[in-house]
Structure 1
Amino acid sequence: MKIKTLKLTNYRAFDELELDLDPQLTVLVARNGAGKSSILDAISSNLGAFLTRLPGVSGHNPKDSDFRVTDSGEKPPFMRIFTRSFDGVEWDRTERRDKAKKTQALIPDGVGIKALNEYVDQFIDAQNEGKDYELPVFIYYGTGRGVFDIPQRKRGFGKKFPRFEALSGALESRTNFKRFVEYFYYLENEENRLQKEHRSFDFEVPELRAIRLAVSRMMPQFSNPRSAAPAGLMIDWNHNCTTSQLRIEQLSDGYRTTLAMVMDIAARMAEANPDTKEPLETKGMILIDEVDLHLHPEWQREFLPKLLSTFPKIQFVVSTHSPFIIQSLSDGKLVDLDHIKTEFNKSLKKEQSIEDIVENIMGVSLPSRSARLQKMYDVAQKYYDLLDEADKTSPEEIEDLKHKLDELTSPFSENVAYHAFLERQRIKAGVISSEEREDD
């Protein structure tokens, strides 16, 4: 299942929003506070109804804090999240402001979640009847994924991992990587047992093979993920022609966060569909907030293309502040939330420089200049505007004009060349005489 259309009504900052998503990649850009995370949270809430329908799994519901608050400080009668999948399944989740009958009368009819429940029931029925089926995966990685929770000991590790539980906790933006470590230990123990049984160290558990393959595709400098005592994971890192053996928590934030996420995706796919030939081709939807989190610009240029290649049948919806992420893409949809009401969405197919992206898409004027240089430029412009007024200024007002000019330039007094140039313009305009300048 992939989502084609998202509609929000009275959800957080949005009174009304309709957004069509790309079947493979949608990139959300905007200034802080424009609603990038809100869109990801809304999708997660509606996908949560899928998870909750599965036995032993739970999603999450919209919260009271998701209600939009009007300018007068009031809540509207209802809040609604509507989704439509590419295969035509429609459902929505509606929260009422209160249970009053008058409030209920103000709420337009919704479609509910009946169609979604019927869709999910096909997987439950297939599981109960022992039939083959492919379970989609839905995962949400929020900005909290940078906190990697490594268990300190193996006590209490799970010994059974049913297929549906591959989605357990998957839509919590603070992803529980501890569960992944438990699952990895389970798979490794199973592989060790089967290697002894087959008398061959070449035997691989398919689920571990999928995790190792995902790592090699996404981050080929890393290999051989394995358990570490007393608990945790080790990885081999080939760097500058030298291979180092490191615990995963010893890696930099960027490497650690990316490795954990890639292995978690692959593990959930393998757990959801253990009998499939290519677990990494599992279908589904993955949400990533601030996809550039902790990544060096050089790595940002190749991160998303590699992610799409590693998991080719997943629909990704991501947010970013990075022009390098945008520049790396040639397919998909770019949604500029700062201009969503004017449908001002840029194509990803056009080759653009970093400067073009920063200025034309991200709305930063003259990105080649530092903020200080831009401020100096703006001050000079205002300075000239004031000098233009000198011809119309009476002798009594000249002192006031001098004071204004001094205030403008004082923050940059240490820049002698800049100061001298602007002072020369004062002399030309007759606002200060050469004698006064010598006195100063």
Structure 2
Amino acid sequence: MRWDELEAAVTAVLRIMERFPQPVDAETLVNYANENDPAWRLRSAAVVVHYQALVVIDLLELAWSPDGANRQINEAGRSYLAVRAAGSQTALYEDPRLRDWAALTEARESFRGHQITEANTFSRLELSQWRQFSEVAIDFHPRLTVLTGANGAGKTTLLNVLAPHFSWAAQLVTSSARYRELGSGTHVARVGQLSYSNGVWTPIQEVLTEQTTVQPLQIPSQQPVPGIFISSHRSISGYQALQNLPAKFSTADALLTQFANEVQTRYSGGNSRYSPLYRMKEALVAAAMYAYGNAAVVANSEARDIWEGFQDVLAKLLPRALAFRRLVVEDGDVWVKTSSSQFPLEAVSGGVSAVVELGWQIFLRGRGADSFTVCIDEPENHLHPELQRTILPTLLEAFPLATYVVATHSPFVVTSSRDSLVYALRNDEHGRVRSRQVRDINSSATSDETLMSVLGLDTPLPQWAEVELQRALTAVPDDPKADDLRLLRERLIAAGLGAQFPAAIDALRTDGSTL
């Protein structure tokens, strides 16, 4: 912690506050403190120390904030400036209110040192008393952060908080119930805070109005984060014959925009003439046509890189049993060639199609990127358990410069990578959702063990089996003899539950029998 620089930044920000008779937003304060120098944000150390100064001002209560975002200097802040003006040292490092924050900040800075590159990404997300959440605190891993929990726990909601960074129109419904608690007028409520790897942090705010509306949260100091958002809605596409080919090969960004627009249209309930898969086929056929050139067409290196590079990605992502070899174009269609057969791109199974579309979007987003962030909601959709087990490891291998934030129900996805941070969203005693970092996760655990230890299931048994097991246990007397246990075992075997006999014995012991 650079305490001298931090004290100077705190002083500079407070002096800016003194100039204003009303509360001022964070961006104005830090910009004015740096004399509106447009280049100051290029100096990462300056960015970090000025946003840390805002935290210190809040912790020491040197300013008043009416909404958790704008600040106005108070008497404590003026006293701080008076001490500094007199030439006295304020010794921030000696203030007990800052000790825990300083230790935690240094630990997080050390953790950020493991980032794969300098490209900006998310560092920490905090939410408090918002929607179904009581308290949520997520520290993001440099490569893979996994969010898991039951339906309704809020996994997708957390991803949707991040979605505006990737131009994804997330559907967050703002309820009018909270508005009625606060009274008439439009209210801006602070619901959390988002921190970035570049040292900037920003409040997260919800605008409350009389009407129930669909709108994103406000992120006043939102920072650019290169990346992509992939929703849980996988496209269902039938065969469409190619209508025409572009006269000029498009860039990777343009191809991704075309694909993403079709996905967003369907996600929002709309429709268009072409499916996302059609846009992919159109791009691949064009890439094959322009890649190598001929006597009349000049070869296009970008087209060749996309045509060959995407096939390299598919070789890593597709299941080994498929024995993928390459793509070929014939009569305006893209064919998938394996070691034993070939078939049109539209004829692949739902699971393989889901993997192909995931790979296509991430591949295009990563073209020319130093590094980037990928948010994926339920990557396991349409996938066989074997593909669920391998999808994240293969994505990590295929795109080594990507940072992933994933929401999932699948125990196979949860345990698929040791080098990750896993957070479980669970209800507390009041029925509100809290996040818990799963520190002792067993990556070698079976899916049943993960379902119970991480996802919170009481039992992985089917409901009929649970009922039958309970009936068998109820029939056992309080003081069972050997014949009673033998009868229990026979009844379980007859019901197809013989493997549950040891668990049944444990249950009898837990219930207080004399076993």
Indicate whether the TM-score tops 0.5. yes
Alpha-carbon distance in structure 1 between the residues aligned to 2:337 and 2:252? 30
Aligned to 1:39: 158
Q: Specify which of 330, 333, 346 is matched with residue 249 of structure 1.
A: 346
Tell me which residue corresponds to 1:362. 455
1:180 aligned residue: 280
Structure 2 match to 1:86: 197
Q: CA deviation at 1:90?
A: 3.4
Q: Is the 8 A contact 1:7 1:82 kept in 2?
A: yes
The SS at the match of 1:144 is coil
Counterpart in the other structure of 2:316: 217
Please say if residues 380 and 410 of structure 2, whose CA atoms lie closer than 8 Å, have aligned partners that are also in contact: yes
CA offset digits 1:326-377 (Å, max 9, x no partner) = 333211011111166373524446532333212211222343x442232123
CA distance in 1, matches of 2:295, 2:144: 40
Distance in 1 of aligned mates of 2:182 and 2:289:
56
Equivalent position to 1:236, from 337, 351, 364: 337
Residue aligned with 1:258, SS: helix
Aligned to 1:27: 146
Could you tell me which residue of structure 1 aligns to residue 244 of structure 2? 155
Counterparts of 1:11 and 1:258, CA distance in 2: 34
Cα displacement string for residues 190-247 of structure 1 (whole angstroms, at most 9, x for unaligned residues): 2142687689x999812222111111122262232244544x4221123xxx2x1111
* C-alpha distance in structure 2 between counterparts of 1:300 and 1:64, whole Å: 28
Residue from 65, 76, 80 that aligns with 2:173 = 65
Match in the other structure for 1:144: 233
1:335 matches 2:437:
no
In the alignment, the residues of structure 2 paired with residue 156 and residue 258 of structure 1 have an alpha-carbon distance, to the nearest angstrom, of 25
Q: Which residue is 2:110 aligned to?
A: none
Are the aligned partners of 2:178 and 2:208 in contact in 1 as well (CA < 8 Å)? no
Ranges in structure 2 where 5+ consecutive residues have no aligned partner: 1-119, 212-217, 268-274, 428-432, 480-490, 498-515
Report how far residue 254 of structure 1 moved: 0.7
Report deviation, 1:310: 0.6
- Contact 1:181–1:233 (CA under 8 A) maintained in structure 2: yes
**Alpha-carbon deviation of 1:292?**
1.4
Q: 1:96 aligns with which of 196, 202, 207?
A: 207
Quote the Cα distance in structure 2 between the aligned partners of 1:97 and 1:152: 47
Q: CA deviation at 1:144?
A: 1.6
SS of match in other structure, 1:205: helix
1:11 positional shift: 5.2
User: Per the alignment, do residues 227 and 326 of structure 1 end up closer, same or farther by CA in structure 2, a change over 3 Å counting?
Assistant: same
Give distance in 2, aligned partners of 1:262 and 1:197.
29
- Give the aligned partner of residue 220 of structure 2: 112
> Unaligned 5+ residue runs, structure 1?
49-58, 101-109, 121-135, 274-278, 389-411, 419-440
Deviates more, 1:340-349 or 1:33-42: 340-349
1:207 pairs with 2:302: no
Match of 2:467 in 1: 375
Q: Which residue of 1 aligns with 2:289?
A: 189
Q: Among all aligned residue pairs of Structure 1 and Structure 2, give the percentage whose two residues are the same amino acid.
A: 20
Cα 1:40–1:376 change in 2 (3 A) is same
Q: Does the CA-based 8 Å contact 1:333-1:347 persist in structure 2?
A: no
Offset from partner CA, 1:62-99 (integer Å, 9 cap, x none): 65614585598989944656432222243456442239
Task: Describe the SS at the equivalent of 1:287.
Answer: strand
What residue identity is the alignment partner of 1:26?
Answer: T
Per the alignment, in what secondary structure is the counterpart of residue 341 of structure 1? strand
CA distance in 1, matches of 2:419, 2:254: 33
For the Cα contact (< 8 Å) 1:12–1:69, is it kept in 2? no
Query: TM-score, normalization: structure 1?
Result: 0.64
Q: Write out per-residue CA displacement over residues 16-55 of structure 1, whole angstroms, 9 at most, x where no aligned residue.
A: 533222121111211111111111222112x14xxxxxxx
Most deviating of 352-361 and 31-40:
352-361
What SS does the corresponding residue of 2:325 show, helix, strand or coil?
strand
1:55 match: none
